[in-house]
Amino acid sequence: MVYKDEYVLAFMDISPVNQGHLLVIPKNHYAYLSEVPEEIAARMFTIGQKLAKAIRKSGLKCEGINFFLADGEAAFQEVFHSHLHVFPRFKGDPFKIDADWSFSPTREELDEVAKRIRCSF
């Protein structure tokens, strides 16, 4: 256990990307981020930010920090209790996100997608 308050817990990941990899979770069960009340989701990220600062100050190998939250099976969520990964990064570490970064939508496509999201907000 690294952190605990009345809303969230933070603890070491048992399958870390890098040394210092933490998980921040709500104390109550919510499978998906959309189920987490806004104030608790905000708390997860606030504590994540403070833990990121602590990782940087800890002396662990750290050239950067990633926050990663997998929401749904297609997004690689394996544990269905919403959780925020906070982990140190450094050049040459094993974490990779592989995608086709060459796709460039047109301005019209971007505007249409933005409109669809805005109308569903």
Distance (Å, whole) CA 73 – CA 33: 13
- Residue 22 CB coordination number (10 Å): 23
Catalytic residue among 21, 29, 81, 83: 83
Catalytic status, residue 83: yes
Those residues whose C-beta lies under 8 Å from the C-beta of residue 51, and which sit 6 or more positions away, are 2, 3, 10, 22, 24, 86
The amino acid sitting at 84 is: L
Q: Look at the alpha carbons of 55, 30, 81, 9 in this order and tell me if their dihedral is positive or negative.
A: positive
Question: What is the arrangement of strands in the sheet containing 3-4, beginning at the earlier edge strand?
Answer: 3-4, 8-12, 22-26, 84-89, 64-68
* Residue positions annotated with a catalytic role: 83
